[in-house]
Structure formats: structure tokens, C-alpha cells
Amino acid sequence: MIKKYRDLFNDDFSFDKYKDVISDLKEKSGIEPQFRVSESPIFLTKDFKDKLKDACESIITQIKDIPQEELSKAVPANCNVPNDTKQPHFFTIDFGICENKTGEIEPQLIELQAFPTLYTFQKELENTLCDVYPFLNELKSKLSNEDYYAQLKKLIIGDENPENVVLLEIYPDKQKTNIDFYLTEKKLGVKPVCITKVKKQGKKLYYEKDGNLVQIKRIYNRVIFDELDRFPDLKLEFNFREELDVEWVTHPNWFFKISKYLLPKLQHEFVPKSYFLNEFPESENLKDFVLKPLFSFAGSGVNLDPTKEITGAILDKENFILQRKVVYAPLFLDPNGEFSKAEIRLLYIWQEDEERPILMEYLVRMTKVAMVNVDFNKKDAIWIGGSTAFFAED
């Protein structure tokens, strides 16, 4: 969106420099990213940043005003975990970068989650891009590396010894996002542990390290209930729904409470109208809406062109929403003269002693196809995949 920096980047870009970016990320983490990293960041105006901030502040205030009893209705009975918390530790808000009917570029809310994402990877991606393309340093985040990781350490580790805090996941080494796990371990000393390796004695949980059992006092939880259902044969020594002597970061119930479940309840000019499927009014045109399951992750189950036959066949209509379609703007020019579209995620953390979350980083997904999620991109295109955003005056 900012011609000066787009021209600077495209003129400076080469595939050798892209290889340098990937190589640097590998050197920092020990592996190459298992998902596609875009060759380019995106450049957005301060005006667009102000629109994002205005929308997010409104959304946060609206959510804080929703009673806990109302939020708790989102948690399925078979997924309810004891010892809930008053607020989540992580909070992310996704916006499409869209064009409205008058041609103005504006954000439109796509999704929101109280679940951790690539908090460490995104900081290191920003650092790497600034190293490979030095002119980006003038746009770099004002939050220093030291302050960034101090905030994450306070949030994830708290007052515990890092040895007693684990990053919990299902087969972490096989996850596409595993580079973030290894970077987290290097930066914070928090070890990724497979859920199948956790031992239980009474109400306490343990993992094995150097032949000894180490108590787990805090869990940096990366396990998605949706994913657990995909592994019915998992042999676990504990159940999430048990009373356990452990602190959750973030508590699993928040995955449901701050989710697409909230979209029909939010109002703002940058929040597209949404309905629960069982409350969809006849006055609306189905062709103008996208069908989404409430609790899926990474774009699974989304239908861009729902029909009455499709919606009519759904039995649990209360677990789906219809969200008004938005038009992603093809704004981001590549060296071949083609344009990519993008979605931007704002990465907040919510310290236990703070009233409001703090914005930490940005995560961008670039695409040239209808579905923005990285998994749905063409494999032979450029300017697609995961990236970050820099902001400047137009």
C-alpha cells in the first residue's frame, strides 16, 4: 500500500536474499519453517493502523463487558476444564485487508481467538527481514527484543522455574508450527513436550528429563481440542477435564469463549454482520455469506459458497455461523506485476495483573487464491504464505 517501501523492497529483492531469510530462521531455530514463508512483508499506512487499533479497542471493550456466564455458554459440556481464569493470556484478532464500496482500503474482522500463535517466530521473522533488508530497520517495532521476551517470560513462566513449565502439544515435532516451539525453547527455556509423554501422580503432572521426573507447574498450552478428536487412539495418563495441580497458560476454556462464537455479538463498522446458522433471517441472501464452524482451526470446514442444501443438512446449526462476505483487496505487487491479497493478525498478550491486553506483534498471511490460509495457497506462486507487516506514513 505504500509505494515508496514497496518499490524499495521489490528493487532490492532477490531469490538469494529469500534463501538468506530462510537460512537465518533455520540457524536461529534449528529447522526450516514447515509452512511457506512469503518472500515479502507488507507495507501498510499509519491510517490503516489507526483503523485496526480503533476496531480492536472496541472489540476488547465489548468482550470485557460480556458477563462470564454468557461467555461460558460457548464451552461444550464435554470440553469444560476446571479452574477457569478471569481472562485469557493470549488474544489474537484477524482482519482481512479489504476494499469497501467506495474504493477505500479498510480492515474487516475475520476471526478472533484466545489461543497462542507464533509469538516467538513472528518476532524473529521481523528481526531477520530487517537484517537481510537493512532499510526495514527504520520501520521496525519500537518494542525491543529484550522487552518483548521479558513480557513473554512474565506471561508464560511467571514466577516458576522454566524447567517446571512446558509447551504442551500433540506430537510437537510433527506440527507445521514446530519452528515456533523450538524458538520458544531457545528464548525462554520452555521445553516442548508431547501430551503422550506426560505422567500423572495424584493431581500432579510430570515429564521426563535426563531420566528424572520433573513436575509440571505451568502449561503453555498449544493443544487444540479440535485436534484431540483427530487422534482417538492417543494414550494419555491424564484428562484435561480432571482437577489437576497445574496452571494453564492459557486456560483451555478460552479457546471456545473467545472464538467465532462471539462474532454475532460484536458491532463495529469493521465487523461484518454474522449470524448463528440457526438464527439466520430469511430476509438475508445466503449468497452474501460464508459458512464457518464455530470451533475449527486453520480454515478447516469453511465454505465460501454455502447453499440451502448444505446448510439444511447441518444438524447442529447452533455450532455454525454465517458471516457476511468481504472483498479482499489485491494490493501487494510482486516483481512479476501480479498482486497478492492479505490478512493481518494482531497478536496481543494479556498479563494476569493487567486490565487490558498489550499488542505485541503482527502476523500476515498472503495469498493469490480465495482461501487466505497458508495451506490453501498455490505452490508455484510468489508473495504467498506467512509474513509480517510494517507501518509507515503514506
128-165 per-position pLDDT tens digit: 999 999 999 999 999 999 999 999 999 999 999 999 99
Interval 171-204: pLDDT, tens: 999 999 999 999 999 999 999 999 999 999 999 9
Which of 10-24, 95-109, 314-328, 359-373 has the least mean pLDDT?
359-373
pLDDT surpassing 80 at residue 362: yes
pLDDT surpassing 60 at residue 377: no
Look up residue 334 and give its three cell numbers: 510482486
pLDDT surpassing 80 at residue 1: no
- Cα-based angle 38, 124, 390 (whole degrees, multiple of 5): 60
**294 confidence band (pLDDT: 50, 70, 90):** confident
pLDDT given at position 371: 57
pLDDT surpassing 90 at residue 227: no
Residue 210 to residue 15: CA distance in whole angstroms:
42
